[in-house]
Amino acid sequence: MRVSVPNIPDAVLRTAAEQQVKVSAAFALDRLSRFLARGDVAVLTGAGVSVDSGIRAYRGNKGSYLNPNYKPIFYHELMDPSAKGVAFRQRYWLRSYLGYQPIREAQPNPTHFALAALQYSSVTPHIITQNVDGLHHKAIRDVWDDAKRAKAILELHGTLHSVKCSHGHQTDRDTFQDMLGAANPGWKAYLEELERTNSRPRTNPDGDVVLPEGTRYDQFVVPECPSCLLEDRRNSTQKPEVIFFGESISAEVRDRSFNIVDAHQKLLVIGTTLATFSAFRLVKHAVQRRKPVMVLNVGPTRAHELAGIETVEIPAGTVLPEVVKHILGSTAERDPVIAKMLESGVVKTPPDDYDDAVPRPTGL
């Protein structure tokens, strides 16, 4: 299945707005605790989960794009071997070069740590995430090794922390970031100046930034794949290991996502409008299998198209840590791992707008 540009039908937005009922924290605590009490729950998360970590979501509380001019790069554009593809890659990698560091430095927020505590306690053994920021991994990496995290956390749309060329060679993103800086010393100096003056561009969920009109992309150099050079091949066609619009999710990832839903009694959906079909179809699948589904989100979601789904409209970070304490009881205090998780998490919610305050680069 290819990932298309996500959309919520206008009829769904109107219906959801009419039915929108915000609830109290006490009500949300009760409903979520009841839903999770017996465990065996799969979790599906989206961009809303990472907002408190300083990473903006694509959509606001009304379900519409925060950036009305949002225009993604498609997979076929990014991988096009022609001069047109070179231009798309220059545009993408410049924006990504400037936007990656905030993603790399982002830290889990209380929602990530609450979910990590539920995973560690086997209440919610598996997380399927649409996010590409790696924050679910960061929240539990102190107690689970790479192999255990890879088994328990499925990154449905890939990860920003790795790069792959068109011949399948992989490069660690930190290494590739250094390569981009070395190939573009002027932009490296510009990025260092932004960091020095705390004027970083605001980063989008997919790790790029919006630059001022008139930015020259055509002079940005995308480095050659080092492994291809060792094979006497020049190749600068590289992309992060993220599923772009128009790109197919691998059969392995697709099958794993359905298997996780099938393996659990219930599905809890957090922080997503379900506008992307790869996520929405998992919810439809759960409903078709007569599994209880609960959505924890602020604003309309495509779940409103489906019957029998309970929606709790409240920010996850305001209630999930208390839900964990309620479910686990004294264990939440006695177990040092869980206690530390429930005391952890940053809260640095970004502004809910797309104003660009980045200084215009000079001579670039």
Tell me if residue 126 is catalytic.
Answer: no
CB-count burial class (<10 Å; 0-12, 13-18, 19+) for 83? exposed
Instruction: Using the predicted structure, report yes or no on whether residue 272 has a pLDDT greater than 80.
Output: yes
pLDDT score for 214: 85
The residues near 178 (Cβ < 8 Å, ≥ 6 apart) are none
Residue 212 pLDDT grade (very low, low, confident, very high; cuts 50, 70, 90): confident
Scan for tokens 């790109």, then name that residue. 247
Inform me whether the pLDDT recorded for 357 exceeds 50.
Answer: no
**Least confidently predicted of 24-38, 190-204, 303-317:** 190-204
For residue 112, pLDDT beyond 90: yes
Catalytic position from the list 112, 136, 137, 157 = 157
User: In the structure, what pLDDT confidence band is assigned to residue 100 with cuts at 50, 70 and 90?
Assistant: very high
Q: Residue 302 has what DSSP assignment?
A: G
Whether the predicted pLDDT of 266 surpasses 90 = yes
Per the CB < 8 A criterion, the answer to whether 42 and 267 are in contact is yes
CB environment 66-75: b (16+ within 10 A), e (fewer): beeeeebbbb
Four-CA torsion 199, 204, 207, 212, nearest 10 degrees: -50
CB 93 within 8 A of CB 303: no
For the chain, report the end-to-end CA distance as a whole number of angstroms. Answer: 39
Residue of 280, 271, 333 lying closest to 303 (CA atoms): 280
| Encoded tokens for 231 | 């094979």
* Alpha carbons 141 and 146: distance in angstroms, whole number: 7
Question: Is the separation of the CB atoms in 3 and 157 below 8 Å?
Answer: yes
- Give the closest residue to 209 by CA, choosing from 190, 223, 224, 226: 190
How many Å separate Cα 63 from the centre of its chain? 17
Mean pLDDT estimate for the chain: 89
More confident residue, 67 or 179: 179
